Amino acid sequence: MFKDGLLRGKRILITGGGTGLGKEIAARYLELGAELWLAGRRGSVLESTAKELTGKYGGSVKTLSVDIRDAAAVDAMVQRIWDETGPLTGLVNNAAGNFISPTKDLSPNGFNAIANTVFHGTFYVTHAVGKRWIAGGHKGSVVSILVTWVHTGSPYVVPSAMSKAGLHVMTKSLAVEWGRYGIRLNAIAPGPFPTEGATKRLRPGGGFEESIGLNPMHRVGRMEELQNLATFLMAEGCEWLTGETVAIDGAGYLASGSGAYFTQLDKLSDADWEKMRAMIRTQNDKDRAGRTG
Ligand code: HXC
């Protein structure tokens, strides 16, 4: 879909770039010639992704072990990028955290685990990068990975829906405030694109069949479709495109409204939820075991 070398000369930071959608976007950007920095909490996962991607596509992929909930660590990380390789040209806000839970059962810590990463952490990264672009007189492009719930809200994933809706508003607000510096901000609101993290925490014990049944195109997303949109938003050619959140979901949210898949969770009993929690915790523990910091 894109010409070779489309992203040559671009230097892009992808948060949460070791796995899931972040890794998929990294693969396409690298293939198209971008120089990459991947940030995440698990150093070994980032390293193995960097090795796998450079093995396939060549190029340069550097990794940064960071928890974006820590504003000082984020600022130090971004300064390191500037010092080692020079200013970024692009940022992909992909790092996130989420699990399904009845909202009444969430503890303040449970809410914070998600909001601190998604809402606060994404702001910290955007701010650390944006203020350096402005100070240095550099243009830049930010692509944030949101979700269609920013338009509809969604039951059972309320901290995520609230946080991502905040980033949707950040995208619009900063597009206006930073437009005069040549900094643009856009976002992608994907419908279901199955990844391990999303499957284990949002569909524990089940797959995507119900989403497929509810979707006008009767399928989930194909990863190359998301990669293509992320490339289009990052590449040059439509610099006047800013402040937009583009849904890529086969018209799913237009057809079904508020978090249709999650509304089905109304059927679950307390015992079902207990089982779900155990499955989600197993995945969280597995991830935590891989973290270095
Ligand atoms: C209720 C839960 C819970 C659950 C954790 N908690 N899981 N509460 N139900 N299933 C509570 C804990 O009890 C604790 O509160 C608090 O959350 C913090 O838990 P930790 O495990 O210590 O948190 P932490 O290690 O910081 O992990 C954060 C995380 C984890 C969000 C819980 O899942 C994570 O790091 N995820 C990153 C990757 C990820 O989520 N990928 C999927 C993204 S999908 P107490 O009170 O007990 O201390 C996505 C969008 C999907 O974002 C869109 C699809 C359409």
**Can you tell me which residue has the tokens 């284990």?**
200
Which of 46, 98, 117, 292 has most ligand 1 atoms within 8 Å of its beta carbon, as the pocket-test mutant?
Answer: 98
Domain that includes residue 36, residue range = 11-289
Per-residue confidence band for 122, with pLDDT thresholds at 50, 70 and 90: very high
245-248 vs 35-40, strand pairing mode: unpaired
User: Is the model's pLDDT at 143 over the cut of 80?
Assistant: yes
Say what the pLDDT of residue 88 is: 98
Q: Does residue 247 lie in a domain region?
A: yes
**Dihedral sign computed on CA atoms, order 272, 273, 274, 276:** positive
pLDDT in tens, 158-185: 999 999 999 999 999 999 999 999 999 9
Q: Does residue 183 lie in a domain region?
A: yes
61-65 vs 90-93, strand pairing mode: unpaired
Distance CA 235, CA 237 (A): 7
Segment 136-161 shows an average pLDDT of: 96
Q: Does residue 178 lie in a domain region?
A: yes
Q: Are 61 and 54 in contact (CB under 8 A)?
A: yes
Q: Does residue 95 lie in a domain region?
A: yes
* Residues sharing a CB contact under 8 Å with residue 115, sequence separation 6 or more, in sequence order: 159, 162, 163
Q: Is the CB of 110 under 6 A from ligand 1?
A: yes
pLDDT in tens, 71-85: 999 999 999 999 999
Q: Does residue 3 lie in a domain region?
A: no
User: Is the model's pLDDT at 293 over the cut of 60?
Assistant: no
Q: Does residue 6 lie in a domain region?
A: no
How many other C-beta atoms can be found within 10 angstroms of the C-beta atom of residue 6?
20
Q: Give the number of the atom of ligand 1 that is nearest the alpha carbon of residue 96.
A: 52
Q: Give the number of the atom of ligand 1 that is nearest the alpha carbon of residue 276.
A: 10
The protein residue whose alpha carbon is closest to atom 28 in ligand 1 is: 113
Retrieve residue 17's tokens. Answer: 């770039």
Q: Is the CB of 288 under 6 A from ligand 1?
A: yes
Q: CATH no. for residue 278?
A: 3.40.50.720
Q: Is the CB of 277 under 6 A from ligand 1?
A: yes
Q: Does residue 218 lie in a domain region?
A: yes
Of the chain, the percentage scoring pLDDT greater than 90 comes to 86
Distance CA 33, CA 289 (A): 33
Q: Is 137 exposed, middle or buried (0-12, 13-18, 19+ CB in 10 A)?
A: exposed
Distance CA 4, CA 27 (A): 14
Segment 91-97 shows an average pLDDT of: 98
Q: Are 60 and 84 in contact (CB under 8 A)?
A: no
Segment 41-67 shows an average pLDDT of: 98
User: Is the model's pLDDT at 129 over the cut of 90?
Assistant: yes
pTM to 2 decimals?
0.93
Q: Does residue 260 lie in a domain region?
A: yes
- CA 11 – ligand 1 centroid, Å: 31
Q: Is the CB of 97 under 6 A from ligand 1?
A: yes
Domain count, the chain: 1
pLDDT in tens, 200-216: 888 887 788 888 888 99
